[in-house]
Structure 1
Amino acid sequence: MKYCLVLVFSLIMVSSYAQENDSIVQFYAEINASELFSFENKSIQFKKVISDSRCPKDVTCVWAGEAKVMLAILENGKLIEEKIVTLNAQNKIDLSFLGLEDIYSLKALDLIPYPVSSHKIKDSEYCLKIQLNKKVEK
């Protein structure tokens, strides 16, 4: 794509939290529309923006709005499930279906670019920032 790299790992960070025998592995990525973010034998595809009713930054609105995006979850290249994620104040969804012994959670951090009233955003311009957490038992 022209506007973002296919898969930009902005940061891959492993952090241990003081929760007895558990730790959290975190992955951060920016994914363009129709592109994949791959980890282990799984992938998340940012399929498309379904709706974007976020209030343009150069307009005063009564409601902040929201954006809905469709994600596809793949394992070993095969589609497991499609999910619609709504970006507003509560962007967390659980991806427990990715592994019975592994616990995953996905948080949509941002959808860029943010709307302005003078420009209609093309589908190819969208980029989704995500954080994927995997709980690892030691």
Structure 2
Amino acid sequence: MKNFLIVMLLVFSVSLFAQTDQNIRSLKITQKKCLKNKGTKLILKEVLSDSRCPEGVQCIWAGEAKVVVSVYEGKKFVKDEELVISGKNEQINKDWFMSYLPFSQKNIKSINIVPYPKEGVKINPKEYYIKIGYIK
């Protein structure tokens, strides 16, 4: 009976962890200007600064990235928005992105700037994109 209980607890705990990332999808906001005729389009215009703590370095704080995102309605430019991607601005950024994303992508779980910096490696500015994780 004791072994049965241990096995059941193990199976139950594994099944809980297995379901957490099952429905998470991701959306990339790139620097490409491929504009469709209808709907809202977000484009990463530029990364103004990236002070995130590089992998392989011990830092006092996690840092942040400042980006400019362009908003288009169809092919018409609407505005540029400067966003600070950091832990303390997480809800502000989620609210901003949710105001432009379709309903199926509004349950945002994470917003990240990719690639993440590594010690001693310079990132080509053209490689940056915004990765939004959402639950469908």
TM range (shorter): 0.5 to 0.7
> What is the aligned-residue identity percentage?
30
Deviant stretches of 4+, over 3 Å: 34-40, 95-98, 104-108
Larger radius of gyration: 2
Alpha-carbon offset, residue 92 of structure 1: 2.1
Return the alpha-carbon distance in structure 1 between the equivalents of residues 112 and 77 of structure 2.
24
Number of residue pairs matched by the alignment: 105
- 1:115 corresponds, among 114, 117, 123, to 117
Return the alpha-carbon distance in structure 2 between the equivalents of residues 130 and 47 of structure 1.
16
The TM-score with structure 1 as length reference comes to 0.60
Q: Please state whether the residue corresponding to 1:82 is helix, strand or coil.
A: strand
The TM-score with structure 2 as length reference comes to 0.61
Return the alpha-carbon distance in structure 2 between the equivalents of residues 96 and 87 of structure 1.
15
Farther-moved stretch of structure 1 (37-46 vs 75-84): 37-46
**Which has the larger helix fraction?**
2
Return the alpha-carbon distance in structure 2 between the equivalents of residues 132 and 37 of structure 1.
23
Q: Which runs of 5+ in 2 are unaligned?
A: 1-24
**Cα distance change, pair 92–39 in 1 and its aligned pair in 2 (3 A):** farther
**Which has the larger strand fraction?**
1
Aligned-pair Cα RMSD in Å? 3.4
